[in-house]
């Protein structure tokens, strides 16, 4: 009886070829990612390095990648001769107020749209979705006229109020509230719990992760907001950090080291916040883009 004996090594060559190709593609992707990260990071590094140089070294004909004689003088100069501490206070206060009020109002609105049946519910939700497509800049004039009528120009209230309506936060929270079984709310109602108590005792704890993420990103967005505070705040007592750093150039003139020091100080709190809560921030960004997970 005759027959062919199969070769155990047959078919291994193509498989090993695919494995090797996969390894090389992975290495190429790693190199490209590292290169992209380096390109992205270089402007940030250059800003920090410039802020540690003297003004003479910054404008020299042969600027180096590293400070020849690192100095904190630009930082001390900005801190001592500008109102940056007051700008910090204004930014922290207004951003925190915006984040807290946006979350509180959005939670109530999302709960009502998700769990309560009332006339016009679908119309309101459709209006919210449509409002996402309206750019904030298109409402600047209306906002300014309203704040001027209320006497809130150059006040924290004038900075905060127009930033309180964030439709995307309401839409995201409603999507998560829709996923919670109705039985939880019905059980709470049987225990004579009102809607507000049901929201804070059941829906908020069950979605604490996404609420925290949205709160952090709302705070960062309010901190980085430039256009509206620039228009409504005109004095050191009310202007925020993004607006304040534009005043440094007007006060000090063209002094690149000091300008960079002010910019680094302005971005430092947000950078620290991101490093501490990067997972929550990344999740909120994904949610805002319509990806749940």
**Per-residue pLDDT tens digits for 170-221:** 998 998 898 888 888 888 888 887 888 888 888 988 888 888 888 988 998 9
Whether residue 291 is predicted with pLDDT greater than 80 in this model: the reply is no
Per-residue pLDDT at 154: 92
Of the candidate ranges 111-115, 245-249, 255-259, the one whose mean pLDDT is the lowest: 245-249
Per-residue pLDDT at 150: 92
DSSP single-letter state for residue 55: H
Over the stretch 199-212, which tens digit does the pLDDT of each residue have? 888 898 888 888 88
Whether residue 11 is predicted with pLDDT greater than 80 in this model: the reply is no
Q: Which span out of 92-96, 180-184, 246-250, 271-275 was modeled with the highest average pLDDT? A: 92-96
Alpha helices in 161-277 (DSSP H): 167-178, 182-190, 195-198, 204-206, 208-224, 227-232, 241-252, 256-276
- The pair of structure tokens assigned to 99 is 């984040």
Residues 6+ apart with CB under 8 A from 201: 188, 193
- The CA dihedral of 165, 169, 175, 180, to the nearest 10 degrees, is -100
Whether residue 22 is predicted with pLDDT greater than 70 in this model: the reply is no
More confident residue, 266 or 61: 266
Over the stretch 116-144, which tens digit does the pLDDT of each residue have? 888 888 899 998 888 888 888 888 999 99
Per-residue pLDDT at 293: 40
Over the stretch 68-84, which tens digit does the pLDDT of each residue have? 888 888 888 888 888 88
Per-residue pLDDT at 287: 63
Percent of the chain with pLDDT over 70: 86
Per-residue pLDDT at 1: 45
CA distance 239 to 229: 7
Per-residue pLDDT at 247: 74
């Amino acid at each position: 009886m005759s027959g062919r004996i199969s070769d155990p090594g047959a078919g291994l060559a193509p498989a090993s070829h695919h494995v090797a190709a996969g390894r090389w593609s992975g290495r190429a992707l790693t190199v490209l990612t590292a290169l992209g990260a380096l390109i992205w990071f270089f402007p940030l590094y250059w800003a920090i390095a410039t802020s540690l140089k003297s003004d003479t070294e910054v404008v020299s004909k042969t600027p180096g990648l590293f400070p020849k004689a690192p100095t904190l003088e630009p930082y001390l100069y900005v801190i001592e001769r500008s109102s940056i501490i007051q700008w910090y206070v204004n930014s922290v206060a207004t951003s925190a107020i915006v984040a807290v009020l946006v979350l509180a109002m959005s939670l109530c609105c999302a709960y009502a749209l998700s769990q309560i049946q009332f006339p016009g519910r679908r119309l309101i939700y459709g209006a919210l979705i449509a409002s996402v497509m309206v750019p904030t800049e298109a409402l600047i004039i209306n906002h300014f006229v309203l704040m001027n009528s209320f006497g809130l120009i150059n006040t924290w209230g004038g900075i905060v109020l127009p930033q309180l309506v964030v439709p995307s936060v309401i839409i995201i929270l409603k999507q998560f509230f829709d996923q919670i079984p109705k039985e939880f709310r019905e059980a709470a109602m049987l225990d004579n719990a009102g809607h507000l108590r049901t929201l804070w005792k059941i829906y908020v704890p069950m979605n604490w992760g996404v609420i925290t993420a949205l709160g952090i990103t709302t705070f960062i967005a309010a901190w980085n907001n430039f256009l509206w505070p620039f228009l409504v705040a005109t004095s050191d007592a009310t202007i925020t950090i993004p607006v304040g750093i534009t005043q440094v150039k007007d006060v000090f003139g063209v002094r690149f080291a000091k300008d960079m020091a002010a910019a680094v100080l302005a971005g430092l709190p947000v950078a620290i916040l991101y490093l501490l809560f990067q997972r929550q921030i990344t999740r909120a960004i994904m949610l805002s883009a319509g990806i749940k997970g």
